[in-house]
Amino acid sequence: MTVSKNAWYTKQKRSFRNFFSTPHKSAESSWLERLTGSVSSFSMENKIFNGVSIVSLAGLFLFTLFNIMMELPVPALIMGVVMLVQVWLYYLSRFKKKPGISAVIFGIIGQICLGANFYYNSGLHGPTLFGFFLTFQLVISVTPKKQHLYWLLIHILVVSSLLIFQYARPDLIYYSYATRKDQYLDMLFTYVAILASIFWITGYLKYSYENQRHLIESQNEKLEKLNAEKNKIFSIVAHDLRSPLATIQGYLEMIMYFPEEGYNANHHARLLDLTKGTSDMLANLLLWSKSQMEGEPICIREVNLYQLVASVLAVQDNLARGKQITIHSVIDPEYMVLADREMLSLVIRNLINNAIKFSPQGSTIKVESSLKKGVVYCSITDEGVGITPVQQEQLFSLKTTSSYGTNNEKGTGLGLVLCKEFMERMNGVIWYEKGTTGGSVFTISIPVANTEIPETNVAVSITKKSFV
């Protein structure tokens, strides 16, 4: 028990020593920060309560002296007790960092003491009602906004009750003034003191908010500089990583068409798949990271869906050939959608790439479109391994785990996260459904640009494109 007491006294001694010895830049800010707390260590609400406590202590001390001079012992005693309570609340907030409970106690004690002062200091003929106005401003200055209505109702209830009490039983109110002069002096002194307190508190609140605003602006400037440097470094790293991968991939594809002596088709195909997979994963990672850091710029315009899908399939041709997969594309050439071409291209490329990755050798992938109620639907259906219920719950989120395709191609799931984010930014939607004969169906919906095209509930078979 002795050890714990010694530790407590040592801690309090250290707190007070730091209070009086903290170095600061200017004398004015030095004492203000020592009294209210530093910006780095205290919240703005905490600092405001500490400042309000100081004003209250100064006012209570003056009121106590004035009541003693006016030979009003009971009001002087009440003010003295309140001053001691306020010292404790200031200690609780400044050194214990508990402004919330301190503010509540401050409001409750204020109501009780003002009620007592109303009774012992002439009631409506005294200055107590002025004190209620000051107390209300102090309370709403240091309490959360959600409590303000409650404090308003409490003040109205207390003051109304006191006035009704004096109206019903005026003989019970103690009239404390010996002369009219004492009454007028008390009223004048209270008015001036409360007016000065309101002036100081309002100025301190503005000062606190201005300091907070300048601090936030300064932090924002530093963050913008750090973010710009980070983006620059990220761009350099991205370029240095993607360039050698693209060179390796191009070289491997060239060897495939012009095999050299000792060419091993299986090893070569495996290496090419790994390179492409790594390149795609890196591209998705870089795009997603960039969109999170600075927001990928978006340009919504009319895009021909048929031409966009055809260009994507041309790029995926070699990947499909390697697994003898046939891709049937049934897209209406007249469909014009409102989208960002690059974003929509990335979404469709990721979905087709996933379909190829998780489809068995010799299977078929279908890309179909339809139009209904001003929205174009584009579905990619495969005959692959499908998605388990557990995996379905984690689709389109970073919670998804890595999985492997039919040829052990690794998938991270990051591409689907990027697809969902890009579709939402283009006012579109993406979702998953289980295929009727197994496999997966990923569908995207995007607003149509040319509303004069007749609606269809099924894909329009105007063109058929196969990659074998």
CATH of the domain at 410: 3.30.565.10
Q: Which residues of the chain have pLDDT under 50?
A: 1-3, 16, 19-26, 457-468
Q: Token digits for 23?
A: 């170095």
- Percent helix, strand, coil in the chain, to 5, is 65, 10, 25
Residue 212 domain boundaries: 2-223
State the pLDDT at residue 379: 93
Verify that 151 and 14 share a domain, yes or no.
yes
Verify that 217 and 310 share a domain, yes or no.
no
Asked whether residue 97 is assigned to any structural domain, the reply reads yes
Asked whether residue 292 is assigned to any structural domain, the reply reads no
- Domain-ending residue, one of 163, 198, 223: 223
Verify that 193 and 331 share a domain, yes or no.
no
State the pLDDT at residue 466: 35
Asked whether residue 90 is assigned to any structural domain, the reply reads yes
Verify that 48 and 193 share a domain, yes or no.
yes
- What is the spatial distance between Cα 33 and Cα 27, in angstroms, rounded to a whole number? 10
Given a contact cutoff of 8 angstroms between Cβ atoms, the answer to whether 52 and 23 are in contact is no
Asked whether residue 401 is assigned to any structural domain, the reply reads yes
- Domain-ending residue, one of 223, 243, 275: 223
Asked whether residue 174 is assigned to any structural domain, the reply reads yes
Q: How many structural domains are present in the chain?
A: 2
Verify that 198 and 314 share a domain, yes or no.
no
Asked whether residue 244 is assigned to any structural domain, the reply reads no
Pairing verdict, β 336-339 and 301-304: antiparallel
- The conformation of residue 333, written as its DSSP 8-state character, comes to T
State the pLDDT at residue 462: 31
State the pLDDT at residue 455: 60
* Tens-place pLDDT, residues 128-181: 888 888 788 878 877 888 888 998 999 999 999 999 999 999 888 888 888 888
State the pLDDT at residue 126: 86
State the pLDDT at residue 78: 80
Asked whether residue 275 is assigned to any structural domain, the reply reads no
- Domain-ending residue, one of 165, 200, 223: 223
Verify that 322 and 433 share a domain, yes or no.
yes
Beta-carbon contacts of residue 126 (< 8 Å; ≥ 6 apart): 117, 118, 176, 177, 183, 186, 187
